[in-house]
Amino acid sequence: MQSKINSYLDSANEVFDLEIDALQKAKQQIATTFQKAVELILSSKGKIVITGVGKSGIIAHKISATLASTGTPSVFLNASEALHGDLGMVSKGDIVIMLSKSGTTIELVKMLPTLHKVGAKTIGIFSNIETRLAKNLDLLLDATVEREACPLNLAPMSSTTVSLVIGDALAAALIKARDFKDKDFAVFHPAGQLGRNLLLTAADVMHNNENLPIVSAQNSLKEVVIVMTKYNLGAVCVCDETNKLEGIITDGDVRRFLTHSDTLTAKAEEIMTKNPISLNPTMRLSEVLNVMENKKRQIYVAPVIDEQNNCLGIVRMHDILGH
């Protein structure tokens, strides 16, 4: 059995080695035209249309999605459907990026005259740059691979990886060129966790007002437990009579206290964590996560305070991930 496992791992290692080698060579192959490709895209007044068939089409779809979500308007065009009316989505000023391993994909060949007629520019990401189709494009990014990582050298593996990484490289260069920021990224991802973390702040998700569990430093442990149970947030804030934060008591603090004491009359000030890690209400959720996931002191709940140390609310890790 162990010999089989080793054999499987050897196969996996070979795939990694072949694809890494293909990427290293592709990095050199695109050196002469990559800059021109980026400049051509930046000069475009239209959108980026990315097309391909089969596995190349799947990679094209991903590249288009990456570009669209990072500030470069882009759509995916199914090369087969393009010949039956979908070419109508291509307009003058657009740039069409074609993906093909062979460089002879018949659907791409057939759409080329129409692309020239409407005034679209063309870029190819081909593994064969010596074809007639390749020579009739405005620009080529050489994605040639010596062999596929497939043991049979048939299924596209190395070639699709190279094409995908070239697409990622274009997207990364365009992000820098357009000075695209994380706040811009958030605008295009309003429903995902990434977007929420970048758009929302601690104030947006915190429990406050009548939903904020507060006790005084002189409240007994029994009273603390009653308040903690009522609000069920895993913690209570300890505040003075002017609502200034003095500390925090988590359910973990209570359990740890009860391991060495069985009194319920102990005061909150004896149990609380003084000067706890706190959040500013304007912190974006991405910043809040960084604070909570600090390796030196990971926490799962934190109070929110203003510059005057007024207790405004409380945020749990669950509020960030489940909002």
Q: What is the pLDDT of residues 170-206, one digit of tens each?
A: 999 999 999 988 777 766 666 566 666 667 889 999 9
Let me know if residue 57 belongs to a domain: yes
pLDDT at 299 over 80: yes
- Report how many domains make up the chain: 2
Kindly state whether residue 191 falls inside one of the protein's structural domains: no
pLDDT of residue 289: 87
Could you give the angle at the alpha carbon of 268 between the alpha carbons of 267 and 271, nearest 5°?
100
Residue 12 CA: distances (Å) to CA of 7, 165, 182: 9, 20, 35
Say if residue 157 is in the same domain as residue 215. no
What's residue 4's pLDDT? 66
Q: Is residue 241 part of a domain?
A: yes
Task: Say what the pLDDT of residue 296 is.
Answer: 77
Its pTM stands at 0.70
pLDDT-wise least confident of 72-81, 149-158, 221-230, 286-295: 286-295
pLDDT(271) > 70: yes
**Does 147 or 295 have the greater pLDDT score?**
147
CA 92 to chain centre: 32
Q: What is the dihedral of CA 260, 265, 268, 273, to 10 degrees?
A: 0
Closest of 323, 29, 68, 60 to residue 203, by C-alpha: 323
Q: Look at residue 192 in the predicted model and tell me its pLDDT.
A: 62
- Predicted pLDDT of residue 7: 87
Residues 166 and 244 in one domain: no
139 & 240 share domain = no
Lowest mean pLDDT among 101-110, 165-174, 176-185: 176-185
My answer on whether 31 and 149 are in the same domain is: yes
At residue 5 the predicted structure's pLDDT band, cuts being 50, 70 and 90, is: low
Q: Considering the chain, what percentage of its residues have pLDDT values greater than 70?
A: 93
The stretch 147-171 carries a mean pLDDT of 97
Q: Is residue 80 part of a domain?
A: yes
Domain limit, last residue, from 180, 214, 242: 180
Residue 190 within a domain: no
Beta strand residue intervals within the chain, DSSP E: 48-52, 74-78, 95-100, 121-126, 139-142, 214-215, 235-239, 245-250, 273-274, 301-305, 311-316
239 and 296 fall within a common domain: yes
Q: Which CATH number do you get for residue 103?
A: 3.40.50.10490
Range(s) of the domain holding residue 283? 202-322
Same domain? 269 vs 148: no
238, 301: one domain: yes
Q: How large is the average pLDDT for residues 222-240?
A: 95
Is 163 within a domain? yes
Same domain for 242 and 293: yes
Tokens at residue 54, please?
Answer: 């089969």
Q: Based on the domain organization, do 167 and 311 belong to the same domain?
A: no
Is 270 a member of any domain? yes
Q: Does residue 67 sit within a domain?
A: yes
Is 323's pLDDT higher than 60?
no
The CA distance from 155 to 150, in Å, is 6
Q: What is the CATH number of the domain that holds 303?
A: 3.10.580.10
φ/ψ (deg, to 5) at 58: -65, -45
Average pLDDT over residues 255-282: 92
134 and 97 belong to one structural domain: yes
**Contact between 129 and 144 (Cβ < 8 Å):** yes
- pLDDT 10s digits, 22-37: 999 999 999 999 999 9
pLDDT digits (tens, 9 = 90+) for 119-138: 999 999 999 999 999 999 99
Residue 1 above 60 pLDDT? no
Least reliable range by pLDDT among 197-201, 238-242, 268-272: 197-201
30 and 104 both lie in a single domain: yes
Q: Whole-number mean pLDDT of the chain?
A: 92
| Same domain? 102 vs 29 | yes
In 3-state terms, what secondary structure has residue 119? coil
